[in-house]
Amino acid sequence: VKIWAMEQNWDPSTLTSNLFRMEWPPRSGRHQEFPELDRAGWFALEVAQEKILKGQAEFLDRLAAALAV
């Protein structure tokens, strides 16, 4: 998991993702490319806590602590 925070204005709609290639449908012999990221967005910490996987919530706690300094 890679997580980052930044203090600047960035428009999430400008996100461009690299692609990965996989056999799809499985065992079909055909390969397709898919984006690693399909969208990005900004969330208040409280909203992010609701959306994030429970095992990753500590990262938001660390961010909140760093911002409080």
Q: Is 29 left (phi over 0), alpha (psi -120 to 50) or beta?
A: left
Which of 10-14, 21-25, 63-67 is the most confident on average? Answer: 21-25
Q: What is the pLDDT of residue 69?
A: 66
Report the predicted TM-score, pTM, of the whole model to 2 decimal places: 0.62
Is-contact 67 59, C-beta < 8 A? no
User: What integer pLDDT is reported at residue 9 of this predicted model?
Assistant: 87
Distance CA 11, CA 2 (A): 20
pLDDT per residue as tens digits for the range 24-62: 999 999 999 999 998 888 888 899 999 999 999 999 999
